[in-house]
Every structure is written in structure tokens, then in C-alpha cells.
A and B are shown apart, each in its own frame.
Chain A
């Protein structure tokens, strides 16, 4: 029994470029993506005290796709409300990795202004400096060439007058490219400050490195909401089934003459994707490209093997994922510590634990403190 394919049939008679392009632009919705989108949209529409949303996940999970979908859906919600052609309710920016290895705020402001369609970015002036009566002939000396007060002010104005509600920053882990923990705190302080001045919810999307920004200080932690956009785990039955469904959806969407049977190789596929849908998608794009170039009618295990990521690469990815996922789990120890700090019933358990440890903590060979019998029985 042939199952229904999920692409338009006329695509099969189209060019290879068209078929490849179709598959590249395809977005297969799955539960993790849907939940993440739902969460992000919920907090954008109703921040509930959170001015920053941190969406972190492994590389290749599909975070960029998540950003694009959030933008599309949010705009779909806004179009009937906003007749103001000057407004940009949501904007997105992909942070570039800094050339010098250290984050550059000036570059960030310029890219953000471009995302907000700001005119004449290279002709900005600082009106505060002009009003305060400094010599108009003298050019302002900027002590730090990596920042710019006029660009920052322009960005704040742009957010305000474009009536932006949310600003998504992809690859936000590049914010952490600073020297020293003090500088790291300053980074988040700046983002939070811009967010507070303009009431724009900043959505920072990036790898697990992004979590370095959290828990720097209590005030920042309180205003930040974390959303974990993780991979599908093989040790969880429901996620395993979901992953197989995703593979099934992809195989039905591949514009090939014969539908490949990828589900039967799900074990191998999982091994080389670590459960990340983004990695899976990119892999299948390579496979499709390969098949179209070689005029193959379908994709088989050989094609998959030829285009898979090497084991070294996957190992590295898995190591990073494991380290990242660990931070998201609330261990019993952490919970207990928290309850002790709050003065809840966790205290007693800890006290007995302490007593036990007190007994136990002794050097080897050290005797218990007790009186030894001294002297003789003869008293004369």
C-alpha cells in the first residue's frame, strides 16, 4: 500500500534545483518545535515580568527555524491589528562572530538598526552632546571605539517609534565573547537596560554557551526566562517515537520518484544526528542533492552513509550536548540546598546528615576522645 507523499506531485517533473530548493525551505513541525514556539509567543505576548527570554539548545536542533517560525506566526497575529505602516512589531538579527574574538557593541547596534530598517545609520549624531553645549566644531572623542552612544540612542528610539514588541537575536552565544566574568555581567546588563528602556522583549537564541549569562546575579536571573529547545532523547520512549515520526515525515516529503524507507534505519540516523532535527534535515538535504546529481530514484543506506557526519564530529556534538543538558536538570542535591536556604523541612535531613558526617570525619589511627586508666591499684 503506497502512503500519500507530502509534496506536490508536479515537483517530480521539475528541475533538480527546484526540488532541492523545495526541500531546503520545507519546515517539518514536530512537538519540541511547536512547544518552543508556543512558549516564546506566550512570553512575548504576555511577558509576566520577564524582559529576557533565553532559548538554548544544541547546535543543529533547529533554533534558526524556530526564530523564523516565531516571526511569521507573530506577524500573522499582528497584521490585522496594526494598520500603521511605520511599525515593525517583531524583528530578528543573527549575531556575527566577532573578528577580534571580543564582542563589539558598535557592530551589534549597526546590525540591529539595519534589522529595524533605520535610515542613514552612518550619519548618526549624538543630540545630547550637541545640546549640552560642547564645541560644535570638535568631533566627539569616543574613548572606546567598540561602542557608540549615538547608535545606542538610535536603537532605543527605533524600538520605541517602530513599536517593536519583540527582538530576536539568533546565535546569541556570541554575547559571551568577553574577557572576565565582570564583563559578562555587563553584557547582560546592557541588554536588560535596552529592554527595560524600550519595553521590548529580547529573545536570545543560541547554544548552551548562552547559559553562562544566567545566574550571574539574582536581579538578572529574576527577569530572565529560560526555554530549553533540546534534542530527542533515545532513552525516552515517547521522544523516540516522535523522532521516528519526524523521519517518516521527512521521507514522505523528499521529492524523489520512489519514497525512501528511512524509518528502518532510524537507529543509524539517530546515531549520526544525536536526535537533533536540524542535523537530520541538513543531512537529508545533502542526500537529496547527491541523489539528484546521480539521477537516483531514491535514497538508500549507502547514500545516507556517504553523507553522514563523521563519528568524530558527532562525538564532539554529543559531548557538548551532555554538558549542556546537565545544567538543565534539577538534581535532588540542588533542590535540597534550595530548601535549606529557604528554611523549609529540608533542614532536618541535612542536620542528621551532618551528624553522620561528623562521626565519620576522623583521621586514620586517631582514637576516640576518652579517659585512659592511669596509675596502679596500690595506694601507699
Chain B
């Protein structure tokens, strides 16, 4: 066979990313999935045989451990070194020089990765249906930003689970086999022509979301015009200007006007650490200014849209800004203890219900928290033992059933019959099967 072309051929197809240059540009995880589909290989194989061998030693394990889980979006779409490495590798494999524009890597110096992305994939089923008619189905990067909860085109909440009741599985950005538009578990089509729109009574929420989507959309659009990573110097200058012009040059005033923690703002102005993306949105919303000019050029540009309150009082309290009423919390905690916490809520769940921080609860009510934790641990341990006993019984009965039906009751058959997944990974359960086999005379002791 003759090899043609004197120029180097890329390993992967040179496929143009969808939505390039716009607010709804495809995410890198979606691009990788589509490349895998075009090549008729799994995403897992693409990573194992093509991407990971080219990764640096430090990042190889980091990337592999984060893949195919809730952290895959963060690892691949985000602002980390792993993101840049993966994007560069994909660029080499496809011969494209615009792969980094499918991530937020150009903003890595000014936007921390903390709470930037959602853990699970969120999607709009109506967008999927429309994309399918137009051509290829893909997941826009904007859907994975934590702050965004709705689809601004169709005014519906983004969905995080499979729409089929018998599946209802959580969707992740990258799994071993990922097909945009299809459930990662049951592999059924997730697109819909219609879905229930958000109620008009949530108009404040919708308005707020539209403002956020507009800002993030501008950020993503601006990414297309960048060729280098944005320096943080101008951002620091911008924050200084805000402190001077709007906050009477004091941090206490800044806390009042900007609704963020004093220490966070102080550190940001000093260039030590920047506010998280959600706090950045709060700052900009408080002053009704645009995000992109501030972080890119340190400019304060007023937003054309009408000012919308970003936080209502309930959310403000959730952020721990309101004072904690000791007596009320103490009473409620004791109630949980008295009724033996029948729902077995964790401290985190209880804190959420009481609108306080977990740290605050532990600090103010250490004895009650320890007691609740101990009780939950006991309960979980009992549940584990019960489950194990139930499974041991099921294994014994199933093994005997299969043997009586004339077949050899090997471990795989027993496991499939009980259909609980890889149960024989547990040495206790495996031993139960072995004991049953010895009892039936199919194995020696």
C-alpha cells in the first residue's frame, strides 16, 4: 500500500466546532464526544489510546481520575492546566488552532475555577431537537456554567437527568460512551419538541437569569477574539477603581454595596486571589456594570440592561450574611435529636434546612452535631450489615436454584441473576458463594 501526501496527516478528523464565535459555542467535552462518534470509537478509547499517551506525566493521573465522573467537565472545559493540555493535544490531533476557544482557559488568570462549573451535565431538550434538525447535536459550553439555570432561547429550566422515568439517571459531560443528545445510561433520545416553560410568577428569577446569560454569553463570545491568556493586572486596577469610585475607598463600604466578603475583596484588590465567578457577578450586578470590560481591561462600563437584584433576602441569608439566632437553631436541633432524626439527615442537610453554614453549626452546637453524626454512622453501619445479610441469602438461594435447574452456578450467572452489579467484589459475598459451592459439593474446601 502506498502512503500518499508529503504533508503530515492529522490523526483525527478536522471537524469544525459548532457555534464558533458565538455565545453558544460547543464545549470541549462535547467536541471530544463528537470526534469519537465520527471515528466510531468510544470516548474512553480516544482518551486512553490517543490523548493520555501525549499528556505530561504530572497530568496523566489527574486527568484519568477525573474523567467519566462529575469532575470531567471541570477538568476538560475549565481553567486548569489539565484543560490547556487536553485542548493543545486535541488541537495537534485535529490540526485545528481554535480548540482552546471551546474552554474558558484564556480567562484562567482572572476567573478562579472554584464553583465555576456544574458537576453534572445540564441540557435543554428543545435545543437538542432543533440541533438534530439542523445537523449535529452538541452541548454548548454555556450550559455547564454553574450560574446558568435556564435556556434563554426557550425559557425552560435546564435538565440534569434523563427524561425517561424508568431511567432518570444523572448525566455527566464525559462518560466512557457519550453521545450528545442521548442519555448516557439508557441511550435514548433526550430531545423534545415542547416542554413546560418557567412560570411567569418567576419573572424575577427569569430576569436575573437573562442578565447572567447575557454577561456569560459576552464572555464566551469575547473568548473567540483572544489569542493569549488575559493578564490580571488590569482587573486588579479595575477593582481598585471600583473601591475608590463606588465604595468611598473603604472595604466596609465595599461589603455593604457589593455584597461580598471583606476579605475576598481585600485579597482581590491586592491581587492575591480573585472572587469566584458568582461573586464577580454579584459585584457587577450590584453596580450594574459589564463583566468582560472589567476583567479584560479594568474598565467600568455601565450595563445597558435594567438593573436586576441578583440576590433576594433568602439567598442572602443562605450565604451566611444574616445573623444566626442561637435559640431558634438550638431548639430545632434538639427536635431532630428527640425524634431520633428519623430521616437520618446529615449535618449538611440540616444546616441547609436551617439556613446556616455547616461550620457555624459545628462551632455553636458541637455536642448536638456529634450526637447526630454518631447516630447517622450507626444507622449507616446497620444498613450495610442488613444489605449484606440480604445479599448473602440471595446468593445462597440463587446458587442452589441454578444448580437444581441443571446448570453450573458460576459466579457470573449468580451475579447476573441477582442483577446487583459487581457484588462479588466484596470478599464476604464472594465467600458466601464459595461456601454454598462447597456445600453443594462443586468445590473442595
Contacts of A87 in B (CB 8 A): 14
Q: How far is the CB of A171 from chain B (nearest CB, A)?
A: 11
Stretch at the interface among B2-10, B250-258, B400-408: B2-10
Is B15 in contact with A111, judged by CB distance below 8 angstroms? no
Contact flags (1/0) for A125-141 with B, using CB distance below 8 Å? Answer: 11100110100100000
Q: CB-CB contacts of B302-314 with A at 8 A, as 1s and 0s?
A: 0000000000000
B39 and A94 within 8 A (CB): no
Tell me if A328 counts as interface (CB < 8 A to partner B).
Answer: no
A218 within 8 A of B: no
Are B182 and A88 in contact, with the CB atoms below 8 A?
A: no
Q: Interface SS of chain B: helix, strand, loop or mixed? A: loop
Residues of A71-104 contacting chain B, CB below 8 A:
71, 75, 79, 84-88, 90-94
- Point out the residue from B2, B42, B186, B188 that lies within 8 Å of A123, measured CB to CB: B42
Closest to A116 in B: B9
Known: A85-B14, A131-B187. A157 touches B40 (CB 8 A): yes
Interface: B439 (CB within 8 A): no
Minimum Cβ distance to chain B for residue A56 (Å) = 20
Inter-subunit contact B45/A120 (CB<8 Å): yes
Chain B: which residue is nearest A86 at the CB level?
A: B14
Nearest-neighbour CB distance to chain A for B177, whole angstroms, equals: 6
Asked if B11 is at the interface (CB within 8 A of a chain A CB), the reply is yes
Q: Contact at A150–B2, with CB atoms within 8 Å?
A: no
Does B367 have its Cβ within 8 Å of any Cβ on chain A? no
Which of A68, A87, A115, A126 gathers the greatest number of chain B CB atoms within 10 Å?
Answer: A87
Output the residue of B5, B7, B37, B49 with the most chain A CB within 10 A: B5
Cβ contact within 8 Å between B10 and A120:
no
Pair B186/A162 contact, Cβ less than 8 Å: no
Once the chains are docked, how many angstroms separate the CA of A91 from the CA of B2?
8
Pairwise interchain contact B1-A86, C-beta atoms closer than 8 A: no
Q: How far is the CA of A71 from the CA of B1 in the complex (A)?
A: 12
Q: Are B13 and A162 in contact, CB atoms less than 8 angstroms apart? A: yes
Q: Which residues of B contact A162 (CB under 8 A)?
A: 13
Known: A118-B39, A161-B38. A111 touches B95 (CB 8 A): no
| Minimal beta-carbon separation of A37 from chain B (angstroms) | 16
What is the number of residues of chain A that contact chain B, defined by CB distance less than 8 Å? 37
Our pick among A94, A114, A119 for the contact of B50 (Cβ within 8 Å) is A119
B369 to chain A, nearest CB (A): 43
In the complex, what residues of B have CB within 8 A of residue A114's CB?
1
The verdict on A146 contacting chain B, using a C-beta distance below 8 Å, is no
Evaluate contact between B179 and A161: CB separation under 8 angstroms.
no
A127 & B179 in contact (Cβ 8 Å cutoff): yes
Given A84-B95, A119-B11, also A130-B187 (CB < 8 A) = yes
Whether the pair A131, B49 counts as a contact (CB closer than 8 A) is no
User: Which chain A residues lie closer than 8 Å to B7 at the CB level?
Assistant: 79, 85
- Contacting A157 at CB < 8 Å: which of B9, B39, B177? B39
B94 part of interface (Cβ distance < 8 Å): yes
Residues of A within 8 A of B182 (CB): 131
Per-position 1/0 for B24-62, Cβ under 8 A of A: 000000000000011111100110011000000000000
- The answer on a CB contact under 8 Å between B10 and A86 is yes
Hey, which chain A residues are within 8 Å of B11, CB to CB? 117, 119
Quick check: is B287 within 8 A (CB to CB) of the other chain? no
Task: Flag whether A124 is at the interface (Cβ < 8 A).
Answer: yes
Residues of chain A with a CB closer than 8 A to B37's CB: 127
Contacts of B179-235 to chain A: CB distance below 8 A = 179, 182, 186-189
**A286 near B: Cβ within 8 Å?**
no
* A119 and B187 contacting across the interface, CB-CB below 8 Å: no
Is B329 engaged at the interface, CB distance under 8 Å to the other chain?
Answer: no
A contact face: mostly helix, strand, loop, or mixed? mixed
Chain A residues within an 8 Å CB radius of B49: 119-120, 123
Q: Chain A contacts of B189 at CB under 8 A?
A: 131
Does A5 belong to the interface (CB within 8 Å)? Answer: no
B41 and A75 within 8 A (CB): no
Q: Are A150 and B15 in contact (CB under 8 A)?
A: no
Cβ-based interface call for A347 (8 A):
no
Whether the pair B4, A85 counts as a contact (CB closer than 8 A) is no
Give Cα A90 to B188, complex, Å: 38
- Interface flag for B169 (CB, 8 Å): no
Whether, in the assembled complex, B20 has its beta carbon less than 8 Å from a beta carbon of chain A, the answer is no
Query: B12 near A: Cβ within 8 Å?
Result: yes
Residue contact A120 to B4, C-beta cutoff 8 Å? no
By a CB distance below 8 angstroms, the chain B residues around A79 are 7
Q: Please, which residues of chain A bring their CB within 8 A of the CB of B187? A: 130-131, 133, 136
A154 within 8 Å of B (CB atoms): yes
Contact with B along A238-254 (1 / 0, CB 8 A): 00000000000000000
The contact of B1 among A88, A111, A153, by CB within 8 Å, is A111
Assess whether A84 is in contact with B14, with CB atoms less than 8 Å apart: yes
Task: Give the Cβ gap from B42 to chain A, nearest Cβ, in Å.
Answer: 6
- By a CB distance below 8 angstroms, the chain A residues around B94 are 86
* Bound complex: CA A133 to CA B4 (Å): 40
User: Would you call B2 and A88 a contact (CB within 8 A)?
Assistant: no
Check if A119 sits within 8 Å of B40, measured CB to CB.
Answer: no
Interface centre among A68, A75, A86, A130 (most CB of B within 10 A): A86
Query: Chain B CB within 10 Å — which of A126, A127, A161 has the most?
Result: A127
> A134 vs B267: C-alpha distance in the bound complex, in angstroms?
55
Bound form: Cα–Cα A71–B39 in Å: 25
List A residues 209-223 near B (Cβ within 8 Å): none
| Residues B13 and A161 in contact, CB atoms below 8 Å apart | yes
| B9 and A88 contact, CB distance less than 8 A | yes
8 Å CB interface, A143-178 against B: 150, 153-154, 157, 161-162
Question: Per a CB cutoff under 8 Å, which of A85, A93, A133, A153 touches B9?
Answer: A85
- Roughly how many angstroms separate A145 CA and B42 CA in the complex, as a whole number? 22
A120 to B39, Cβ gap below 8 A? yes
- Out of A90, A94, A124, name the residue touching B40 (CB < 8 Å): A124
Given A88-B5, A120-B39, A123-B49, 14 more A-B residue pairs with CB atoms under 8 Å apart are A84-B14, A85-B95, A115-B1, A119-B39, A119-B41, A120-B41, A120-B45, A120-B50, A124-B39, A131-B182, A133-B186, A136-B187, A153-B40, A161-B14
Question: Which of A's residues lie within 8 Å of B, judged by CB?
Answer: 67-68, 71, 75, 79, 84-88, 90-94, 111, 114-115, 117-120, 123-127, 130-131, 133, 136, 150, 153-154, 157, 161-162
A-B pairs with beta carbons under 8 Å apart, 18 shown:
A71-B4, A75-B4, A85-B7, A85-B9, A85-B95, A86-B95, A88-B5, A88-B9, A90-B4, A91-B4, A117-B11, A119-B50, A123-B42, A124-B40, A130-B179, A133-B187, A154-B39, A161-B38
